[in-house]
Structure 1
Amino acid sequence: MIRKLGLVSALALTTALGGCAALNLPGSDGAATPVVATAPVDYVRDIHSWARPEIARVNHVSLDLAADFEARTLSGAAALDISGEPGANEIVLDVRNLDIQDVRGGDGQPLRFETGAADPILGQPLTIHFPALAAGERRRIVIHYATRPDAAALQWLNPAQTAGGDKPYMFSQGQAILTRTWIPTQDSPGIRQTWDARITAPSGLKPVMSAQALTATGEDVGGGMRAWSFREPNPVPPYLIAIGIGDVAFRAIDERTGVWTEPSMLHDAHDELIPTAEMVDVAEGLYGPYRWGRYDILVLPPSFPFGGMENPRLTFATPTIIAGDRSLVSLVAHELAHSWSGNLVTNATWADFWLNEGFTVYFENRIMEAVYGPERALMLQSLGWGDLQSTLADLPPADTRLKLDLAGRDPDEGLTDIAYEKGAAFLRTIERIVGRERFDAWLKGYFERNAFRPMTTERFLEDIRTHLVTTPDLERQLMMDAWIYQPGMPSNWVPPVSTAFVPVDAAARAFFADKGPASAIPWSGWSTQERQRFLAWRPDNHSGGADWLTDAQLADLEATLNLREEGNAEVLFAWLQIAVQHRYQPAVPTLEKFLTTMGRRKFVLPLFTSLWAEGDWGRPIATALYARARPGYHPVTTNSVDAVVGRPN
């Protein structure tokens, strides 16, 4: 149900900021970015949130938290600025495994509150009661609380789990609904909130956040602790509030881009990510101004569960993208593109996740085309198409629709190539039929018209039918409803074909099918994408299992291509999938090293799934290996792998 409220979703920055202007720091804009007042918001009922924003909603969050690395907790207060309908006398927030100690009004008076029954996916509703709101009134409530050591959004690393090996580290990952495990707020992507924070951490560690930094060196508060301040004046969905605390250093790429990471990784990370500055310029040329000030990247320790996370102003990235040859920087293009599709225009609920990821994969590919040329972009499209075919074969038909039904399910179940690759394929189909020039004009306008607003599939359809698809004939050609609401791929889809892959496919057939020698493979002259294509080859009738390669072929491949020493994570993952499916015992040490030295779910989950599918050979390996590796994984990864392997005793 949608209800038109006619309210703005952003408040002016509160007095908690003390009128402080942003300093010219790494991670800061140099000048304060004005708060954006958005158009009226249509609040959509979100089945993954207890919140009732049509009654009362959070507009701004002020955090004052202290990090305790021994206890592995954040504790302090969250002050929420709220508004609501006239007469509203309560607000419902989302919490999960938070210890709520006290709730008070802005005047310091205690407020009555209660938490409801816990749901294993949603956590608990936190209902706070207060005197009825008058028309147009803003109210502040202050929640004193602490996180728990097992907060699913936070990972606390001991020094041995970092690159430096000397100091601990902590980082957050809030998507999809994990922010409620460290911030008591309305944790729905459709309820955008401005925010600020004061973070107290041990001296020698530096907090960074997805916001403007207001302090250069922190404030000494005694007891070996320093306090750091941040603010984000643009309203964001709560899953984009992010924090990292560790021994990190910064190096600029240009005047508005740069890299944060541990000092021992800074040189390599910086050199790998130099294309970032050009990508920002290209993205602006395609679809309008970058509206977040700086674009920096925090390269995290290897347990980070995703390739990247598009936190505004500060993308969080896995170190597995540092390949040494800039061959995996399409991930940067992807996370940068989210600054428009996802951060600027956000899915209102997780059922419409394709609006974030499908648009972003399309935009990412346009950036890669502009920077590296059409052939590189087409290779990436073709690899994505291959991934999509596997996903279409594996998922139940209902889950191959763009508009998902996630009732009673964790929204992470929607994080598949349907949202990413089918969504991008849909947009490429529109571009092909209407022409790139017309499509680009519409897409740029789409971002401008809907900036800082939640988006649903139905609103997307309304927008495109108003501004681009204006004739019945064009509507019939595009088959938009079939793309969105029907399973599988509509008949008007044209798969991408990369001519660069023709010789790769010939070499793959010569080795895999015709049993030729690995020495005939022109491996050294191939790009990472060509190597991925080669290792993705399967017989036409392949259904899994060790039925198409011999041990002698596997040994020849491993030795000739030096796969035991492969440093590119994407290539190594592709090889290990082959090795596991063939129960190739000599590759097990390589597999063990890979799975115990990084926690990226994209690699971890498929490999454990493949091991588990190999029954009496793979399951003992999976069980023993997961018991060793699991303590180093983020909860986002363990939640997925637990469902396959089971939680170790």
Structure 2
Amino acid sequence: MKRFAVPIAMLLATTACTTTQRVADGSDLASSAAPIAPILTSAQAIDEESWAEPQKARVTHVALDLDLDFARQRVAGTATLDVMAKPGVSEIVLDDRGLQISSITDGAGRMLEWSVGAAAEGEKGAPLTIGLDGARKVQISYAASKADALQWLDPEQTAGGQHPFLFSQGQAILNRTWIPTQDSPGIRQTWEARITAPKPLDVVMSGVRQGKPEDLGNGRRAFRFVMDKPVPPYLIAIAAGDIDFAATGPRTGVWAEPSVLPRAAAEVGDTEQLVEAAESLFGEYRWGRYDMIVLPPSFPYGGMENPVMTFLTPTFIAGDRSNNGLVAHELAHSWSGNLVTYASWRDGWLNEGVTSYIENRISEEVYGKARAEQEYALSYAALEAMVAQQGATNPVTAMRTPAGTSPFDTDGEAIYDKGTVFLRTVENIIGRQRFDAWLTQWFDNHAFQPATSAMFLADLREKLVRGDRQLEQRLLLDQWVYGTGLPANALKPDAQAFAAVDAAVTAYAANRSLPTAAAWRAWTAAEQRRFLEELPEALSASDLAALDKRLGVSASGNNEVRFLWLEAALRNRYQPAVPQAEEFLARVGRNKFVSPLFQALWNTGEWGQPIARRIYAGTRGGYHAYTRGKVDAIVS
């Protein structure tokens, strides 16, 4: 049936339709029922970062027909939107940030009136108001140049050095810079796309590719994609470049530049096992395929959980799968975040905290309890450090983000780590078997729908607490979600998880006694990280020289370890680390590493600030807009 033919009552309810996807090899892939997600009307569901008024009129489907223009670094074409509107509603409001709109019609050629309002400060952009005049389909002809969601790379910025590259990063509210829609996580939409690109580039998206690329005979090819399940708009993603594919299992695989692909495929070789482990814990994987793409280094995050096509940074490749918690994390989003999504950015923990908990459970299933306990201990320590630094009563330590906070400015520990510790604490009190059953039904009963903190707690209380006052008092649910600091019932990590490492840390602090090189090599990556994270703040040049000579940290193939070394060296004005940092910052665009290293340089004052300015002048152009914004605020 046509999407706009759904009864208006469905604006606040859920319906479903069944479609069939076509996978890249042309075979049919039957999809599960794809509901039109409800629009939540509670106070917690209001998205302060969107101009949309979905209770009046909402987008249910987006159809893109776009050309990629690498020379002009722009996309251009049309976006056709299916709209549902209440009786008497004469307009729909979309989110727009810098789109170059040439015309808007009803899809049949009838011109519609439209206007762009005043832009807000920051990333929110401006309201795009379209007069519907009875239309239930809206076609927008437009172009997007210099969109912050899109990173255009010159050939020399790629591993191959021969062809340009494009990738998008829409989360949190950047997709409005290249797609005209209601860019809010609570307004889930199905979508399809036809994308043309110059040969020989391949295009991938966060939807299932339909058949083979079509040769247009003009040096370009057209690629078609479908996502028949309603997703939050920030999950519409694209990448294009000189990329090849390697299968890692019957439903998993990885794309990467040809020279990177062998290492990438080896690193993610256990992905099928990770999917099976996740399904054994929390139910069916509902997205068909789970593919990944390893992007060029300027990608600003560790990973992005785009459905059927996770985007990954190359910095996770260590040669020993020691950083594959990143893959487990992005996979876990297939349940928390992609399947059940927060309705507003203030509930970020519902995505990231729940996902980090599931990541840890997947790690335990695949890599063993010892590794999972070490990863939990690192997460707990990061949360403790954040609370100590910010203060236990600081609102930024709350899991539900304070009103008025930009979705780009949240404290990761409050969302990721505190959420992890919260759910581990509840699991410990309730019992794993009961908690797993509850979490599984939460995903089942809210699949392809938005959610709020209040909904999560109400469901937990109804189905697990069941009026047990003593249990309610033990759980401290409201204190965890709405309160600040670290609640008293927090489940502490196993004291033995890092027993050997912590003993080495104590010895080093006492008399600068270092572990042997053999012992260091025998440690896991998590143990090496623990040691470096617990180093004394103040270290002398001789301390740092001896540490590097013994442990070889400056040459580590694990970027997580190498970053911790560089941060310690720079904050202590260790001159031999400057060229190492310059090389690292020139090839790595992941903000988790980039911003702290520039901050470490900047904090040293007269010694490091000229160095920071010099390095940033040479690297800024290669960073994503998100990373540039973070470093711009540091290096002035």
Bin of the TM-score, shorter chain as denominator length:
over 0.9
Cα deviation for residue 387 of structure 1 reads 1.5
In structure 1, runs of 5+ residues without a counterpart are: 14-18, 134-138
Aligned equivalents of 2:226, 2:376: Cα separation in 1: 37
Question: Can you list the C-alpha shifts for 1:496-528, whole angstroms capped at 9, x where unaligned?
Answer: 125241111122222343122564772111111
In the TM superposition, residue 463 of structure 1 has moved relative to its aligned partner by: 0.9
Q: Structure 1 pair 622/203, CA: closer, same or farther in 2 (3 Å)?
A: same
Paired AA for residue 215 in structure 2:
D
- Note the C-alpha offset of 1:404: 1.2
1:248 aligns with 2:243: yes
Tell me what 2:128 maps to: 126
- Corresponding residue for 1:31? 29
**Contact (CA 8 Å) 2:112, 2:131: kept in 1 or not?**
yes
- Equivalent residue in structure 1 for 2:439, among 421, 437, 443: 443
TM-score, structure 1 length as denominator? 0.93
Asked whether the equivalents of residues 192 and 224 of structure 2 are also in contact (C-alpha less than 8 Å), the reply is: yes
Matches within 5 A, 1:470-489: 470=466, 471-489=468-486
Distance 1:432 1:125 in 2: 46
Asked whether 1:505 is paired with 2:511, we answer no
1:176 aligns with 2:172: yes
Give the Cα separation in 2 of the matches to 1:158 and 1:141. Answer: 35
Alignment partners' CA distance in 1, 2:190 and 2:38 = 16
The answer to whether structure 1 residue 300 and structure 2 residue 300 are counterparts is no
Q: Displacement of 1:451 after TM fit?
A: 0.6
CA contact (8 A) 1:10 1:35 kept: no
Aligned to 1:425: 421
Which one-letter code corresponds to 2:358 in the other structure?
Answer: F
Shift of 1:462: 1.3
Correspondence for 1:102: 103
1:415 to partner: Cα distance: 5.0
Q: Using the alignment, how far apart are the partners of 1:274 and 1:298 within structure 2?
A: 13
Structure 2 matches for 1:512-523, cutoff 5 A? 512-517=509-514, 519=516, 522-523=519-520
Partner residue, 1:606: 596
CA shift, 1:252, in A, is 0.6
* Residues 374-413 of structure 1 mapped to structure 2, 5 A cutoff: 374-395=369-390, 397-407=394-404, 409-413=405-409
Aligned 8 A contact 1:29 1:293 in 2: no
Distance 2:479 2:357 in 1: 19
- Does 1:234 pair with 2:229? yes
Q: Which residue of 2 aligns with 1:164?
A: 160
1:368, distance to aligned residue in structure 2 (A): 0.3
2 CA distance for matches of 1:357 and 1:192?
A: 18
Mapping for residues 556-567 of structure 1, pairs under 5 Å: 556-567=546-557
8 Å CA contact 1:49–1:188 kept in 2: the answer is yes
Write the distance in 2 (CA, Å) between the matches of 1:612 and 1:9.
52
Per-residue Cα deviation, 1:209-237 (whole angstroms, up to 9, x for no partner): 00010022x11223211101000000000
Moved more, 474-483 or 520-529: 520-529
Change (3 A) 1:193 1:40: closer
Work out the CA distance in 1 between the residues paired with 2:458 and 2:37: 16
User: Greater shift after overlay, 498-507 or 68-77?
Assistant: 498-507
2:62 equivalent in structure 1: 61
Contact 2:377 2:497 survives alignment (8 Å): no
| Residues in 2 aligned to 1:498 and 1:156: alpha-carbon distance in whole angstroms | 47
Deviation at 1:532?
0.4
> In structure 2, how many angstroms separate the alpha carbons of the residues matched to 1:620 and 1:448?
54
- Report if aligned partners of 2:504, 2:515 keep a CA contact under 8 Å in 1: no
Matched, 1:597 2:587: yes
| Separation in structure 1 between the aligned mates of residue 191 and residue 14 of structure 2, nearest angstrom | 12
1:509 aligned partner, one-letter code: T
Deviation at 1:644, TM superposition (A): 1.4
* Corresponding residue for residue 254 of structure 2: 259
Q: Does 1:530 align with 2:530?
A: no
The 8 Å contact of residues 95 and 124 in structure 1, kept in 2 or not, is answered as: yes
CA distance 1:293–1:415, change in 2 (3 Å): farther
Conservation of the 8 A alpha-carbon contact between 1:157 and 1:170: yes
The residue number in structure 2 matching 1:187 is 183
Q: Are residues 1:341 and 2:331 paired?
A: no
Question: Per the alignment, in what secondary structure is the counterpart of residue 408 of structure 2?
Answer: helix
What is the deviation of 1:619? 1.1
With over 3 angstroms needed to count, the CA separation of the structure-2 counterparts of 1:82 and 1:415, relative to structure 1, is: farther
- Structure 1 residue 390, shift from structure 2 partner: 2.3
Matched, 1:313 2:274: no
Question: In the alignment, which residue of structure 2 is the partner of 1:329?
Answer: 324
Gap change, CA 1:642 and 1:626, over 3 Å in 2 = same
**Structure 2 SS opposite 1:590:** helix
User: C-alpha separation between the residues in 1 aligned to 2:380 and 2:595?
Assistant: 20
Could you tell me which runs of 5 or more consecutive residues in structure 2 were left unpaired when the two chains were aligned.
Answer: 1-8
Aligned length: 622
Residue in 2 that maps onto 1:636: 626
**CA, structure 1 residues 398+348, in 2 after alignment: closer, same or farther (shift >3 Å)?**
same
The separation in 1 between residues aligned to 2:119 and 2:39, in whole angstroms, is: 29
Identical pairs, percent: 50
Distance 2:261 2:476 in 1: 48
1:507–1:521 Cα contact (<8 Å) kept: no
Aligned CA-pair RMSD: 1.8
Look up the match of 2:5: none
Q: Is the 8 A contact 1:403 1:485 kept in 2?
A: yes
How far 1:388 sits from its partner (Å)?
Answer: 1.4
1:11·1:59 contact (CA, 8 Å) conserved in 2?
A: no
Q: CA deviation at 1:629?
A: 1.0
Give the direction of change, closer, same or farther, for the CA distance of 1:39–1:160 in structure 2 (3 Å limit).
closer
> Could you list the per-position Cα deviations for residues 126-172 of structure 1 after superposition, in whole angstroms to 9, with x for gaps in the alignment?
00002147xxxxx1000011011x21100000111111111100000
- Decide whether aligned partners of structure 1 residues 280 and 535 sit closer, same or farther in structure 2, where only a CA change above 3 A counts: same
3-state DSSP of counterpart to 1:222: coil
**How many angstroms apart in 2 are the aligned matches of 1:203 and 1:35?**
36
CA distance in 2 between partners of 1:314 and 1:597 (Å):
24
Alpha-carbon shift at residue 40 of structure 1 (Å):
4.0
Distance 2:480 2:528 in 1: 31
Whole-Å Cα distance in 1 between the matches of residues 128 and 198 of structure 2? 31
Contact 1:170-1:246 at 8 Å conserved across structures: yes
CA distance in 2, matches of 1:121, 1:227: 31
Following superposition, the deviation at residue 281 of structure 1 comes to: 0.4
Matched, 1:281 2:280: no
Whole-angstrom CA distance in 1 between matches of 2:10 and 2:50: 19
Contact in 1 for aligned 2:123/2:174 (Cα 8 Å): no
- Look up the equivalent residue of 2:400 and give its one-letter code: K
1:143 is matched with 140
* In structure 2, C-alpha distance between the alignment counterparts of 1:574 and 1:151, rounded to whole Å: 33
Counterpart pick for 2:457 among 431, 456, 461: 461
CA contact (8 A) 1:64 1:77 kept: yes
Partner Cα distance (1:563, 1:588) in 2 = 14
Give secondary structure in 2 for the equivalent of 1:353. helix
Q: Closer, same or farther in 2 for the Cα pair 1:5/1:513, shift >3 Å?
A: farther
Are 2:69 and 2:75, in contact at CA under 8 Å, matched by a contact in 1? yes
504-513 or 416-425: which moved more? 504-513
**Native 8 Å contact 1:5 1:42 kept in 2:** no
TM-score when scaled to structure 2? 0.95
